[in-house]
Amino acid sequence: MTITTRFAPSPTGRLHVGNIRMALHNWMLARKNGGQFILRIDDTDAERSKEEYVEAIRADLAWLGLSFDAEERQSERLGRYDNAFDLLKAAGRIYPAYETAQELDLKRKIQLGRGKPPIYDRAALDLTEDQRAAKEAEGSAPHWRFKLDHDAPIVWQDGVRGPQKFDPATLSDPVIRRADGSWLYMLPSAVDDLDMGISHVLRGEDHVSNTAVQIQMFTALHAAKFAAAKPSGKTVPEFAHEALLVGKEGKLSKRLGSLGCDSFRERHIEPEALIAHLARLGTSLPVEPIADRSVLLDSFDLATFGRAPAKFDEADLERINTAIVHAMPYDAVKDRLPAGMDEAGWHAVQPNIANMGEVGEWWRLVTGPIDQPEFSEEDRAYIATAAKALNWSDDPWSGLTSALKVATGRKGKALFLPLRQALTGMNHGPDMGELLPLIGESEARARLERAST
């Protein structure tokens, strides 16, 4: 069986870290098994869907390196949903209901007050044809519900949660179409999964009850001859529901909903760092700064996913990002470096940066200008001696410090720190043995002379 997965965002806003994690895991499930990964744009909500968000979704996936094999748009498939609707209606699996939102809300409150689950009471099924006609004559347009079969429990083997069992009588018949004819999520999603040959649906645990409903939809659509069984003989995809992301305090965080690719780019988070962090978050595998995706793919296994909420900590992401940046070869970053910075420059500053946004500040130690501190009279005399002792060679820093150690008797911090401060304006930073040749002889001597006056 060819594994086919999908990522199905609604273009009503930007992708956030939870969406990104779900896209990544579906991509990994497909790629590990040589399968297909489909981007499905769920844009049936014409009022809220915007083309700018569609473009942003594509751009974000490209930045993350999550290539897809096909793109589908629900707005271009409305005829298929109409076809499915007509078949299910003819089969008695869809019925009209006329309650207003206020009436439904009142019903739920009454049921809760009686200690009963707030599910739809199916009152619309008791209406006669004359009563329906009278309501429509009064101007009440119906919304449409899918009629659940109460005869048998809904069961499936979940890829993360294990055996699942739902009593359909404890679920509301879901509204699948609004009174204005627009679609809700349930039926179009099931139709698309059938048409696109989706073999595995991997999504958040907030969809578990939706899955119970959609399993009956898949079965009803096959029974209505809407779709044939897959070559494997299966009429329903495999389902897996992973735990949702929470903040580091262990609670659902609104901040997670504002963390998207733009935010990560602004903070100079590398896509490989985000991938490494999210790939194993919520699993029993260690989250490590692994930039090689083949390693992450080899270890990807739904059996490693846990049921506990997955804690997303931005500090952990930043640590992973720093580790990945420290391992990045020059060829991977050369097009992103400041003008004039070569491989030697990258090698010099790389250990000191937390992210690529800091490269320019460290490179300024080479290009200048620098702000030197105020030196004591004793240190100014020492630096003046250094300016005279500077003798350029293959290793000018070792030559200079060795000569000064003999000439002045200084050692340790007293030997090195005034020189670093005079040459860079900093108390710490890149290895001076690497940095001094980049500064160059004339500029280094000028800085020492300036600091000595």
- The arithmetic mean of pLDDT across residues 419-436, rounded, is 97
- The arithmetic mean of pLDDT across residues 83-101, rounded, is 97
**The pLDDT of residue 233:** 61
Neighbours of 394 (CB within 10 A): 7
pLDDT in tens, 327-372: 999 999 999 999 999 999 999 999 999 999 999 999 999 999 999 9
260 or 251, which is more confident? 260
Neighbours of 250 (CB within 10 A): 10
pLDDT grade for 164, boundaries at 50, 70 and 90:
very high
**The pLDDT of residue 444:** 97
* Closest C-alpha to 193, from 243, 234, 144: 234
Percent of the chain with pLDDT over 90: 93
**The pLDDT of residue 249:** 74
In the predicted structure, residue 1 carries a pLDDT above the cut 80? no
**Degrees, nearest 5: CA angle 443-445-449:** 115
**The pLDDT of residue 326:** 98
pTM exceeds 0.85 for this model: yes
pLDDT grade for 244, boundaries at 50, 70 and 90:
very high
Which residue ranges form the domains of the chain, and what is each CATH number? 367-451 (1.10.10.350)
**The pLDDT of residue 256:** 80
Contacts of 359 (CB under 8 A, 6+ apart): 336, 337, 338, 341, 349, 353
- The arithmetic mean of pLDDT across residues 251-260, rounded, is 76
- Could you give the dihedral angle defined by the CA atoms of residues 351, 355, 356 and 362, in that order, rounded to the nearest 10 degrees? -50
Q: Which residue shows structure tokens 């491989």? A: 343
